[in-house]
Chains A and B, each alone.
Chain A
Amino acid sequence: MAESKQVVLRTEHLKSFYILDMQGTQKVVKAVNDVNLEIYENEIYSIAGESGCGKTTLLKTLFNEIVPPQRLVDGKLYYRINSEEVDVTTFSAEEKRKLRMEYISYIPQGSMSVFNPVIKIKGTYEDFIGSHVEVKNRDEIFAIARERIQELGLPKNVLDVYPHQLSGGMRQRVTIALASSLNPQIMIGDEPTTALDVVVQRGVIQMLKDIQKKLKNTIIMVTHDMGVHANIADRIGIMYAGKIVEEAPTEKIFDMPLHPYTQFLINSLPKFGDKTMRESVPGSPPSLADLPTGCPFHPRCPHVKDICREKMPETIKVDAEHKVACWLVEEEFNG
């Protein structure tokens, strides 16, 4: 299974910073700092991390939507289009526009602001689909929309209502249906289940999995809820201060977390039937504009050593699928 996997999206030393000019002094927010990813076809890859660790910026960069003050400082971003790897960072605005919806689509977090509140849902569908598909009339667009909506088990009449008439969970599901309507290769979700009720969240996760199974495409999503990761993801990347510090298949992350930060994240979660004391990660996340030297986690790490304060550890492969960037592991691994 692992051998024949096709890489669909690949990044090389991706660096994307926010460069702010404040009255002559330059402030650089290193939101995506040297990220190397390989994301395969037919998988759900999810990225975990605290707020302010650069998750959303990473997604925007992967979506190839970089708007100042965000800038792509360095690195390459490859998509696999028609079995060929293409560097999309050099694409023109029109080329990028063509890829959206059809090749890569985006599911935003706040579904409240996705739909125009003064037009019916079908108006939004018309705008989105109509700008990508050559059709003779509107009915063809609605046929595409209706088909997907019915496949996903949503009520038929959602196209004919205004956004405020739908509950939050329904609106989120309609948003996901919209993002999937042109069968994209990659779907990117920015906290697609956050701010929903637990039962609704379960329904939305169920729907995302259904879509992925049906289209056999790739979903890249970000969430801070480790419970959601455990339920949906095939592989998990743990992000801290703009870097992916650990990456492994879901079972490995939960059974054998190697990075101290991952260990904290997992051990701090309360479990049913277990009332033993849980500790949260000490301290607070660093500012991306003023990163500590060396490993960015060292001020909060209980196992800190001298080298951690000086040098950022290299990402090493513990096994074929498990990567981690930590001096502790490096020492153990290299003897």
Chain B
Amino acid sequence: MDKLLEANNLTKRFSQGNVISRAILTAVDNINFYIKPAEIFTLAGESGCGKTTTAKMILGFEEVTSGQLLRNGEPQTDKEKAWITEGVQAIFQDPFSTFNPMRRVDAYFHETVYNFKLAKTKKDAIDWIDQKLQLVGLTYQDVAGKYPSEFSGGQLQRISIARALLTDPKLIIADEPVSMVDASLRMSIVNLFKQLRDELGVSILYITHDLATAYYVSDRIAIMFRGKIVEMGSVEDVLMNPRHPYSKLLRDSIPQADPNLRWDSRVTLAELEHEEYSRKGCRFAGRCPEVMDICKTVVPPDVRIDDVFVHCHLYEELEEA
């Protein structure tokens, strides 16, 4: 199968403290996933589940502790950080801190065009920029000479997508791209991702905690919990029929915009996050409604049911059968 990006046993450990007492926190623990060309792949989970750390490793902002990242089957080495800038681009959460408030927005576009030698003359550069801005529903006239404060959050986020498109990337890493954008304007950004996938064949790694937009936009999804991927498969399978108890909890906790679908059950919240990271067996065991003895001591296996991977003891027998 054609894989644009593949992560094999990707792990990231952070260590805190000094020589005498050292705490090790495994932020990303042995995860495997791949992204196909022209698909939207979602990494979903709560804060502290390691989704942003994964994005940072793909972008080369964080060193990989162990494991491998492959692009088109080629491993990423230190010397080849270049592929990051050529084939992969990033969009970040807060559009207001993406741009320097004292710098005109078009300067970012000209700088990228210059650095990548995308145009020979000023006119070519403007045409190139205008073409990319039109993809997101803006024109060069709209941004020329303006400062970030003159745009709304939604507009700025679209501008940062246009900037990412300048180098014709194959993969865009979008880290919580809509969480700072007003609810009424969110869909315009999300629809843009669909349009980019369908028209330009760009793949998008969509990192979010918002399962409703993830369902709407993505093809496949991986649910992360405390550094582990607990369930991965197509959005239809994972979100409409969640198997892992954590996916079920997460899916049920999305407030539905329908007063007839109010919650009738209650949730228990984790008291200490660190405890969950250092748990020996399954990290969800402390809160899991279907916890068994084995969960507290043995790390659950990755079970494959149909096309879905579930990281849970509950389904162990199914695989053997």
Q: Using a CB–CB distance below 8 Å, which chain A residues touch chain B?
A: 50-51, 155, 167-170, 197-203, 205-206, 224-231, 250-251, 254, 264-266, 268-273, 275, 277-281, 284-285
Contacts and interface: CB of A to CB of B under 8 A. Distances in A.
A318 B253 CA distance: 34
B224 to A, nearest CB: 12
A254 B259 contact: yes
Contacts of B288: none
A225 B183 contact: yes
Interface stretch (B110-118, B126-134, B139-147, B208-216): B208-216
Contact of A202 (B211, B257, B258, B267): B267
Nearest to B49: A197
Given A226-B183, A271-B212, 4 more contacts: A224-B182, A227-B256, A251-B260, A285-B152
B269 A203 contact: yes
8 cross-chain pairs, A with B, having the tightest CB-CB distances, nearest first: A227-B255, A270-B216, A280-B187, A197-B46, A281-B184, A202-B253, A280-B188, A226-B257
Interface residues of B, number: 44
Which residue of A227, A266, A279 has the most chain B CB atoms within 10 A of its CB atom? A227
12 contacts: A50-B184, A200-B269, A201-B253, A201-B255, A202-B253, A230-B259, A231-B256, A266-B257, A270-B190, A270-B215, A280-B188, A281-B184
B254 A227 contact: yes
A168 B209 CA distance: 16
Given A169-B269, A225-B255, A206 B263 contact: yes
Contacts of B272: 167
A76 to B, nearest CB: 31
Contact of B215 (A155, A201, A272): A272
Contacts of B239: 272
B259 A251 contact: yes
Given A203-B269, A225-B255, A273-B240, A230 B216 contact: no
Contacts of A199: 46, 249-250, 253, 267, 269
Contacts of A254: 257-259
Contacts of A201: 253, 255
A51 B257 contact: no
A270 B212 contact: yes
B267 A230 contact: no
A200 B47 CA distance: 10
A155 B271 contact: yes
Nearest to B251: A272
Contact of B256 (A167, A169, A230, A264): A230
A119 B2 CA distance: 56
Given A169-B269, A268-B186, A284-B185, A230 B257 contact: yes
Nearest to A281: B184
A203 B267 contact: yes
B54 interface: no
B89 interface: no
B191 interface: yes
B266 interface: yes
Nearest to A282: B188
Interface string B227-252: 00000000000011000000001110
Nearest to B274: A167
B129 to A, nearest CB: 22
